[in-house]
Amino acid sequence: MKSVLRLIASAMLLIASYSVQAAPEHLADSLVIRFANRTRLVIYAPDKASIQALSSYDLNKIVREMSMKLDSVPGGETAISQDGGRYLKDTVLVVTKKKDGVSIVINTSDTTKSDSIRNRRDYKRSTVRRGINSWSRGIDFQIGLNTFLNQSAVASYPSDLYSLKPLGSRYFAVAFSQRPTLINGKRAKFSLYYALEASWNNYMFENNVVAQKGTSQVEFNPYPEQLKKSKLTTFALQLPVVPRISFYNSSGRKVFHLGVGGFIGYRLDSYTKIKRQNNDKEHEHSNFYLNDFRYGLVGHIGIVRTSLFVKYDLNPVFQEGKGPDVRTLSFGITF
């Protein structure tokens, strides 16, 4: 509120120095500015020239220093006298209204460049700091890789039967996220990340096999001809919730963040895709005895503008006794 009052007072005084020329003769020796909260600013002068001379003073500095002095005196009727000579300057007060705030730049004949740079830097820094307290919303894209982690050996499913290609087994997700700040400090903040996430897990097989739904369990059957690719894909909606702590430097820029949480999800679709040597493609949709519900752990780590993620499914990919006992591990980068 004080900063607003200072700004209004400074601006009004500057306007008055130019508009007073048009005022009637009997009002040329005083200025009275009334504010909505019953505050009055009264300036007495012997003539027009004295009021016009106000343009030679750094009015912004006067209001600022007088406000600081008022804070240090007891309440009641207060009067402060100050030598105005120390405020004489060739001063131009530039007030710029921007989308997310107001920038004030004081230009003088000797310090125009340095003041402008300093004010621009301070304005940018304050804008960044305001962002620390914000309720962040956005769309995140996650791109990474998948792998199977074996929990226990199953005689009917040797691990080399369903082994995956490391670079061909890709993970992709689109998340509509929010991250409200819960606790804010000078150099750190604690926030809660949560999102509605659509995710695709692609499991590309190393061997020339195709996943098929058998009568009682999933089967990985050799294909009669050599394939360019064979994969199993699942599509699920997920809800990750990740408490996160972020650290900032002295300029208010984020330098590091770390978060650990969990997620739950539901499988909406799954299908196999094969690509033959002549580039013909074939899809087959089925549940393949996959578990519909998913849940697990999720971690976020970021350094400056690079954000990484890792996800681990706590429940098995396939229903118990109907497929290999494996869990999914996904990791990658977030944009």
pLDDT at 19: 45
Q: Which residue in 305, 297, 313 sits closest to 334, CA to CA?
A: 305
Is residue 130 over pLDDT 60? no
Is residue 225 over pLDDT 90? yes
Is residue 144 over pLDDT 80? yes
Confidence band for 122, pLDDT divided at 50, 70 and 90 = low
Is residue 81 over pLDDT 60? no
Dihedral angle, C-alpha 219, 291, 142, 133, nearest 10 ° = -170
pLDDT at 216: 94
- Per the DSSP assignment, residues forming a β-bridge with 41 are 33
Confidence band for 77, pLDDT divided at 50, 70 and 90 = very low
Is residue 212 over pLDDT 80? yes
Domain ranges in the chain are 2-131, 135-334
pLDDT at 46: 73
Is residue 68 over pLDDT 90? no
pLDDT at 97: 53
pLDDT at 256: 96
**How confident is the prediction for the chain on average, in pLDDT?**
80
Interatomic CA distance for residues 78 and 68, integer angstroms: 13
**What one-character DSSP code corresponds to residue 88?**
B
pLDDT at 136: 81
How much is the average pLDDT of 212-230? 96
pLDDT at 282: 96
Is residue 35 over pLDDT 80? no
Contact 167, 206 (CB under 8 A): no
Q: At what angle do helices 2-19 and 59-71 cross, to 10 degrees?
A: 140
pLDDT at 49: 72
Q: Which residue in 311, 314, 293 sits closest to 142, CA to CA?
A: 311
Q: In this predicted model, what pLDDT tens digit does every residue of 284-305 receive, in sequence order?
A: 999 999 999 999 999 999 999 8
Name the residue with higher pLDDT: 188 or 95.
188
pLDDT at 171: 98
pLDDT at 188: 94
- Per the DSSP assignment, residues forming a β-bridge with 146 are 330
Q: What angle do CA 62, 66, 69 make, to 5 degrees?
A: 150
How much is the average pLDDT of 139-155? 94
Name the residue with higher pLDDT: 86 or 44.
44
Interatomic CA distance for residues 242 and 254, integer angstroms: 18
pLDDT at 20: 44
Is residue 105 over pLDDT 80? no
Counting residues of the chain whose pLDDT is more than 90, the rounded percentage is: 55
How much is the average pLDDT of 147-168? 93
pLDDT at 6: 53
pLDDT at 250: 87
Name the residue with higher pLDDT: 2 or 300.
300
Is residue 78 over pLDDT 50? no
